[in-house]
Chain A
Amino acid sequence: MTTRPKRTLNASAITMAHGAGGKAMRDLIEDVFLGAFDNPDLNALEDQARFDIAALAAEGGQLAFTTDSYVVDPIFFPGGDIGSLAVNGTVNDLAVSGAIPKYLSCGMIIEEGLPVAELRQVVQSMRAAADAAGITIVTGDTKVVPRGKGDKLFINTSGIGVIPQGVDISASRCQPGDKVIVNGFIGDHGAAILNARGDLALSVELETDCQPLHGLVQAMLAVCPDIHAIRDASRGGVATVLNEFAETSAVSIRLQEDSIPVRDEVRGVCEILGLDALYFANEGKLVAVVPGAQAEAVLAAMQNHPAGQGSVIIGEVLEGQPGRVKIQTCFGGERILDMLVGEQLPRIC
């Protein structure tokens, strides 16, 4: 590779020129993206990243490949931003298969007028999150759309990871007798975003739970290689994941309402708006279905990991009524926990 003088971006806001393929775009890519992500694969500026197959094959038997797009509003919120979310979200989609995350792509759709300082902040945050997750951003793309045709910034990331031999985690493997575990307070991210939009004017402090989960999953697999199912409870929340499990495995699942961990602040938001934290998005929470005999050992391993200190068993898998998720209320009554119909809309009175 020949060495070139480093290009710098002097504009204060993104314009259509930064997406036009010319010098302005090169300034943006080299200064903002290469400057932050800085690794040999990306710096080569080829149209594609290239991997050594043998090195990947040495680490496991299967590749995991996933993609997700991030359109959160606002792009900065307490505890994180769209950048850390775009990295951790895709890392977690890999992690819950048991994969060790390896490579990430980054596609940015930027609305004309976005302050360059904000873009730099997001990109720095992506680098920090990637470093924390041990993943490398190896390829990317930038598009600029006219003002009003996007909403500040959308990011797509795709990720590749390697699944170690012998790991078979699948939504179809839940069996009667299995226990359901979550790794801590649920609903923090959804409540934090709702609060950050500022429409509610609530005086509570709520932070996203955005964190990578691959380390936690590896710690779980170390004590129980035969974990049946794991999913990260992002959009649609814990309730949606459990409904997917029950349907795919043709089993029923029963939760104990009083064992489900929800922060008081999040419960408060739910009480005011008539919403249910079980449907709120999480960005650092997983739901695991584990053989009953090993549930306590897995739980202990989770509680010993920084990303799982608040882990608890919240329910169990039962025979019969395939696809049904129910919840035993603290009074001993039972009710159904269904999929959401549409958006969770606040009640009016």
Chain B
Amino acid sequence: MKFVDEFRDPQMAKALLAQIHALVKEIPRAQHKPLQIMEVCGGHTHSIFRYGLEQLLPREIELIHGPGCPVCVLPMGRVDDCVAIAEQPDVIFTTFGDAMRVPGSKKSLQQAKAEGCDIRMVYSPMDALALAKRNPDKTVVFFGLGFETTMPSTALTLQQARAQGVDNFQLFCNHITIIPTIKAILDSPDMYIDGFLGPGHVSMVIGQKPYEFISAHYQRPLVVAGFEPLDVLQSIHMLLLQIREGEARIENQYTRIVPEGGNHQALKAVSEVFELREFFEWRGLGSIDHSGVRIRESYAQFDAERQFVLPNLKIADPKSCQCGEVLKGVIKPQQCKVFGKQCSPETPLGALMVSTEGACSAYYSYGRIDAVAV
């Protein structure tokens, strides 16, 4: 298939892997302790497991699966809020598919749907807006979720809703932003990340500039990476080159998609509709300053948080969950006490078991091979 197969070529992968194996030998400190490279985005985590890349990398490289899976880091209290909205009369609640199974403290959206709530899966916020126009006697609420990747489409949808005078459309905004969370990880005393694979699709919107503090203040390299297996391998190779030379720069491997300055039109729409929250709760990581956005006053009429009375409770993860430690790379998924026992994709306890992009779910679904005696 064009534009995909080129980035999955096994011969090129073998050549790149050979270079990675040779290069890592030239980095003295990697010989004592593995280099910790964090892939920030869940899309990378998925790709790494889908193609079995982790087993092919040298022992001197340890991949840390970062917090960039918006479904995984959604706190339980927010899911409860979704259910509370969906349970209101004359509401059609719309959501992306993989948020359906995220457990709330009492139930998931999938369970609420089975109990009779009108909850529908959509592929884009524009589908939800179209649904609102077709159902003028209902209130259609869209569950806005994701990083800067999905934020522009939500913003544009609200702009259209206002321009078209659609008054029965609401947004329950749970959009989050990745930069403050990377900073929180870098400030965390119990971890040391040697380099980052930067999130490709987020960067398509925000560009490279927002990452500059990582090299300037923390002296760590970051390579904005694409999602195909060759993208991931090439990005790791670029990181190793920097580490060998003792450099810390922001580089872009995903040049076919990511412009240096990002997408100005998308950013303009986002800043017209959204503003930073003081803080936002992340599942497994806790509250992080300025890590979420809310709807601006000028779009208040579309804000489900202002229109509905929400429980808005903070609900702690079960004590046995070690999601936070996995997210920071302190332990591997299978080292968690409940991994594969009380916590599995069928009955996820912790955030990382929920979506296929979560590190624990990826380990469970694809990666248990190593954990079994051959």
Contact = CB atoms under 8 A, between A and B. Distances in A.
B158 to A, nearest CB: 18
B1 interface: yes
B50 interface: yes
A336 B365 contact: yes
The SS class assigned to the A binding surface is: loop
B43 A333 contact: no
Identify which of A258, A267, A335 gathers the most chain B CB atoms within 10 Å of its CB.
Answer: A335
A347 B145 contact: no
Given A274-B356, A347-B357, A348-B99, A329 B369 contact: no
A346 B123 contact: yes
B52 A335 contact: yes
Interface string A261-293: 000100110010010000000000000000000
Interface residues of B, number: 49
B191 interface: no
B10 A326 contact: no
A199 interface: yes
Interface in A144-202: 199-200
A347 B10 CA distance: 26
B372 A348 contact: no
Given A348-B70, A349-B201, A338 B10 contact: no
Given A271-B4, A348-B146, A333 B70 contact: no
A341 B145 CA distance: 23
Nearest to B147: A349
A325 to B, nearest CB: 11
A345 B357 CA distance: 12
A342 interface: yes
B149 interface: yes
A331 B1 contact: no
Nearest to A332: B56
Contacts of B4: 267, 271
A264 B1 contact: yes
B324 to A, nearest CB: 23
Nearest to B121: A345
A330 interface: yes
A329 B49 CA distance: 10
Given A268-B1, A331-B52, A336-B365, A199 B14 contact: no
Contacts of A332: 10, 14, 52, 56
